[in-house]
Amino acid sequence: MLSEADIRNLYEAAVRANFGLFYATAYRVVRNAADAEETVQQGLMKAFASLGSLQDANRLVGWMCQIVRNSALDLLDKRKRHEKSLPDDYDPSGDALDPSHQPALAEAARAVYDEVDKLPEGQATVITLRHTEQLNIEEIAARLKISPNLVRVRLFRAYERLRSSPRLRRAAGEA
């Protein structure tokens, strides 16, 4: 049985070693860098506060990922409730670079997110780490504790699926 200090040390090491994974997990849900950072912080604080309920220290990273994911889902639920409470004539004044002000760009971004969400979990995770964290093959392999060759296979299969998506081809302006 691990002591409380041992569990805290494992937690700190897990945060340092897997922050990108936690961020990618949150980003896949909220699709916004600032919200992903916020939900990672909230999720990791919740995980720290709940360390005493951890049953198996070998499952710490997965347990923490689930808490981060739940925090991201909670944020989306709060937003949906807030949006329902806004008046019908509410017109947000956003940044001119906001994709919602550029319908074609917004649709293309939405198409990419939707298609990545349809990928198998392993493929979606490596794509997300590659393009949101800008990690290379070896870094992704180390983060996920899989071989670099498996990362390459998952990336290849993910790219193939994305390339064959009619929705993404339409969004890119191809026939």
Which DSSP string corresponds to 57-98? GGGHHHHHHHHHHHHHHHHHHHHHHHHHHS-TT------TT-
Q: Measuring CA to CA, how many Å separate 6 from each of 13, 64, 143?
A: 11, 16, 22
Work out the average pLDDT over 77-85: 72
Query: Domain check: are 68 and 105 in the same one?
Result: no
- Decide which of 27, 52, 87 is a domain's last residue: 87
Rounded to two decimals, what is the model's pTM? 0.54
Q: Give tens-digit pLDDT for 8-53.
A: 888 899 888 888 888 888 888 888 888 888 898 999 999 998 888 8
| Residue predicted with more confidence, 27 or 101 | 27
What is the percent of the chain with per-residue pLDDT over 70, rounded to a whole number?
Answer: 80
Q: What is the mean pLDDT of the chain?
A: 80
- Decide which of 59, 87, 115 is a domain's last residue: 87
CATH number at residue 103: 1.10.10.10
Domain extent for 66: 1-87
Q: Give tens-digit pLDDT for 123-156.
A: 988 888 887 777 889 988 888 889 999 999 999 9
So what's the pLDDT on residue 151? 92
